[in-house]
Every structure is written in C-alpha cells, then in structure tokens.
Structure 1
C-alpha cells in the first residue's frame, strides 16, 4: 500500500502533467525493476519540468544576503528553462501569495507555473512530502541556500541517480549571479562503473 504523501505526489503529477497518459503510451520504454537496478548513476532523467524550492518568509529576514529578490528569482528561472529547453516550473515555496503573483508576472507568458496547493485537508508536513516527492522527480532542481528542505531534495535526487549538475544548485542573490553552489554529496558505490561521470 502506498504511503499517503507518495499517492498524493503521484496523483498531482498524473493530473497536472498527464504522466498517466505518458506511462500508458510508453509502457515498453519504462525499465523493469531489474533494469533500473542496473542503471548507472546519472542516467535518471526526470519529468519535463524544473523544480524551484524558493524560501521566503523568515529567510528574507535571516538570510537576506543569500537569496534573490522576486525578480531576481524569475530571471534565474527563465535562464534555467531556456538552457533546459523546458516551459514548466513546479514551485515549492512558503512565499506569500502576493510574492508568488509577482514572480508569475515576471515570467514569460508561455511558462507554466504549478504549485501543490491544499485547501485545508493536509498538514504542512504532508504538503512538504508532496513537494519533496515532485521536486525529486524534476528534470532539474534549484533550491535555496542553507535550506534543510533543499538539502533533502538534493539527497533524494542523488539516491535516485540524477546527475549532480541537475541536482546541486541554488538560487543566487541578485548581486552575485555566480554564487557558490551547494557541496555535492555523492554516493560512493563499491562498483565504480555505477558512477560514470
């Protein structure tokens, strides 16, 4: 039986990004469990969207020098979407609604921004589980500096086999677009051929 959060995350992706149709039409392309177990680290691709973990609220006060403005975050999102040739963003954030609206207005009109918004039936912890699951399965992830939640997503993605350059990324402050990126905590395999980077 699936855990509540896993079922919610899977359902969100099925509903919003038609993953169920993809699975039906590409059933033969999906590796078996045995095939996935033999997959080399770095071969995970993820869905056709990027995930952005964008901390705001208390971080605006406590980490002001380490995070971008609303418009600065939008510029970085656009750069990633262009580089990855994607148009969809899953936004995991604690930002107030007015800041999310400003972010959306700062993005090109053809960019689709999705969020998992619950209307009272789930706890904050359950919503976090859904956000984490979705972000762990994105094509590309970018998080927030010194955020434990971003770190957990990076850890999940490393376990799932995503390439480090699509996993260990952070939003930079407006005045330092080449800011230091997160440390790359890589799994060390006994069989060195598993990690072919």
Structure 2
C-alpha cells in the first residue's frame, strides 16, 4: 500500500488515493544478489520481489504499511495461474484479519542504479520487519505484546476503480486502526 508514483515516466507524481499491490516474499538468495548484507526474511528486513506485470512498490511508498491478510488463521495466498496473471486462492469475504508485518523502506536492482526503475523484474523491495523490532517497540510505546499483536478485523475495504498499472485503489480511511498508528509510531522511532 502507498501513495507512491505508479509510473517510471519523467515527472511522475505521487497519487492522491492510496494504492495496493499484492507482493510475495522473495527468496533470500535472490535478495542477496541485490543486497549482499541481506541475510534472511526473519532479520531486520523483509525482501519482496516484483510481481508479473511489473507490479512493485515505488518512489513515495517509503513508510507505507506492508500487511499480510489472514484467512481462517492462515496467510491468504495468491498464485500465478499463467504468466502475468494472478488469481486469489481464497476469497476474503466481508471481514479480513490484516496484520502489519513491515514498513516499506527501499528498493534496489542488480545494477544498483541510483534510481532503480519501479517494477524492474531484477529488482527487489525491502521493508523494515516489524517483528524483528518487537522488544524495542514494546519498550518505546509501553504497549503489551498481546495488544501489539492483536489482529484488527476490517469490516470494509472500499475499493475505487482500478488505476492504470493494475494496482487497486483502496479508500485510505478504510480500516484506519491500530496498525496504522503502530506503523506511524514505529516509523518515527526507527528514524530517530
């Protein structure tokens, strides 16, 4: 999710409506080709790969939430059914259990371009891994671990028409709950 640019065109601007893109956690070996300091998706960062159709995080998305949607206690999965075509394996239904797992941080590609193009098939996105910093967040916020990990039930995800590029626009006020507050606090704390 984020308000980043949706195009590599010169002069592209950030968007007014929060967009969403489904990403997958990438293989650590592949991520190390781009960032040799990356060790594991269980460390300080989670690495995601570009999806078919060149869908990715982009400039202006930094600090945006990386969330996982749970269905019946398991992560919702998205499968590639044909090159460039994704299908949802499970329907969300009216209520989704969404959990903050990261904050979008940066992207890079194998060429280490100063400004890597968004949606680069050889590129990866790196999000700050919230669980890695749990102790720090608990100490800084005074929250209990149970409260921090309490799932938020969203009873509406109002969708706007699809913008170009295939990302889905999401009503930015839909589900503005604890996870967003924690994301903002964590982002502020990590930048100190």
Question: Shorter-normalised TM-score: what interval?
Answer: under 0.3
Give the structure with the higher percent strand: 2
Give the structure with the higher percent helix: 1
Between 1 and 2, higher relative CO (CA 8 Å, sep ≥ 6) is seen in: 1
Provide the TM-score with structure 1 as the length reference: 0.25
